[in-house]
């Protein structure tokens, strides 16, 4: 019988049974749903009970069936590991892939997100490895019964969509994974903007409360796979960058003292020219000139 199976194996075996024996009627009750927080051993026992029931306790038939399933899983999982290498090494791509799954954009003739969710339940992954496993489980489900080239084709087309999406992503370019404080601030701006402008935040946010380490990825995912319309997404991106610029300017100027001066128009034009030449603000040019003059006086 099945023993010490991983969650990925159990998902695959469940699909295998339904694919191979579509017309079978499980008795005395259907298979229990495999929810993300299910007890794996309890589910494994349930699967064994149904296999035993279907084959009327015939050990030889049961062992043959289980060996077929295990061999099929090993062949499929090996090829999927190769296919998913890029998701394992690219957390941003994996998050995009997860978004595409839960919004019904990744499916096959063998299964869809709604079917998978109804049978297995759903729990939103909290970090990359958990998300990668969830993606693998789902693709294993919709790929059961498909050839390796067919599965590879599904993944390849999704990869093309992902690369196209990040090329046109409205993610502000200044956001950095290494700046946790900025990532948290941007995420708060996104939440506040949607709460203010949209009636149901759950339609636009798939991870309402990401852990600190996930906030950069959550921000990327929001702009890489936008659920807002393009105009609203662009407006939000621009608003965030504008608010950030104003915030940085206020922080920069908080220790500065105002200086009201009247200048000859020609001098003002020269200041404007210098500001343009050095790509500076006028007050920065004045600051630079004064510092330069003081330094020259001290060196005399």
28-66: pLDDT as tens digits:
455 565 554 556 678 788 888 878 887 888 888 888 888
229-257: pLDDT as tens digits:
888 889 989 999 998 888 887 777 777 77
User: How far apart, in whole angstroms, are the C-alpha atoms of residue 299 and residue 245?
Assistant: 37
Report how many domains make up the chain: 3
Evaluate whether residue 172 is within a structural domain.
no
Evaluate whether residue 1 is within a structural domain.
no
282 is in which domain, residue-wise?
265-299
2-25: pLDDT as tens digits:
877 766 677 677 767 766 665 555
Whether residue 294 sits in one domain with residue 229: no
Evaluate whether residue 202 is within a structural domain.
yes
Tell me the pLDDT band of 84, cut-offs 50, 70 and 90. Answer: confident
> What's the pLDDT score for residue 93?
92
Evaluate whether residue 175 is within a structural domain.
no
User: How far apart, in whole angstroms, are the C-alpha atoms of residue 139 and residue 126?
Assistant: 19
Evaluate whether residue 163 is within a structural domain.
yes
Evaluate whether residue 2 is within a structural domain.
no
Domain stops at, among 141, 167, 193: 167
**Which of 95-109, 214-228, 243-257 is predicted least confidently?**
243-257
Whether residue 139 sits in one domain with residue 12: yes
Whether residue 162 sits in one domain with residue 74: yes
Whether residue 141 sits in one domain with residue 238: no
Whether residue 184 sits in one domain with residue 212: yes
Instruction: Classify 243 as helix, strand or coil.
Output: helix
72-98 CB burial, b ≥16 within 10 A, e <16? bbeebbebbeebbeebeeebbbbbbbb
Q: Encoding tokens for residue 236?
A: 């939000």
Domain stops at, among 167, 202, 229: 167
Residues facing residue 238 across a β-bridge: none
- Computed on alpha carbons and rounded to an integer, the radius of gyration of the chain in Å comes to 29
Evaluate whether residue 133 is within a structural domain.
yes
Whether residue 193 sits in one domain with residue 127: no
Evaluate whether residue 16 is within a structural domain.
yes
């Amino acid at each position: 019988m099945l023993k010490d199976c991983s969650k990925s194996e159990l998902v695959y075996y469940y699909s295998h049974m339904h694919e191979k024996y579509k017309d079978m009627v499980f008795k005395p009750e259907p298979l229990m749903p495999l929810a993300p927080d299910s007890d794996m051993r309890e589910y494994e026992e349930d699967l064994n009970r149904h296999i035993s029931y279907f084959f009327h306790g015939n050990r030889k038939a049961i062992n043959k069936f289980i060996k077929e399933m295990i061999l099929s899983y090993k062949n499929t999982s090996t090829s999927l590991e190769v296919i998913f290498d890029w998701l394992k090494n690219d957390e941003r791509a994996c998050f995009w892939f997860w978004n595409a799954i839960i919004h019904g954009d990744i499916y096959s003739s063998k299964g869809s997100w709604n079917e998978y969710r109804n049978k297995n339940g759903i729990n939103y992954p909290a970090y990359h490895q958990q998300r990668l496993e969830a993606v693998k489980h789902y693709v294993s489900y919709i790929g059961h019964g498909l050839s390796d080239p067919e599965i590879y084709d599904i993944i390849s087309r999704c990869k093309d969509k992902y690369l196209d999406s990040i090329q046109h992503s409205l993610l502000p370019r200044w956001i950095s994974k290494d700046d946790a404080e900025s990532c948290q601030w941007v995420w708060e701006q996104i939440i506040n903007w949607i709460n203010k402008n949209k009636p149901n935040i759950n339609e636009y946010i798939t991870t309402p409360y990401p852990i600190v380490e996930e906030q950069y990825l959550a921000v990327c995912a929001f702009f890489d796979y936008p659920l807002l319309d393009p105009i609203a997404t662009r407006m939000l991106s621009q608003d965030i960058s504008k608010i950030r610029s104003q915030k940085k300017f206020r922080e920069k100027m908080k220790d500065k003292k105002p200086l009201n001066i009247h200048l000859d128009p020609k001098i003002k034009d020269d200041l404007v020219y210098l500001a343009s030449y050095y790509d500076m603000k006028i007050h920065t040019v004045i600051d630079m000139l004064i510092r330069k003059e003081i330094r020259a006086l001290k060196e005399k």
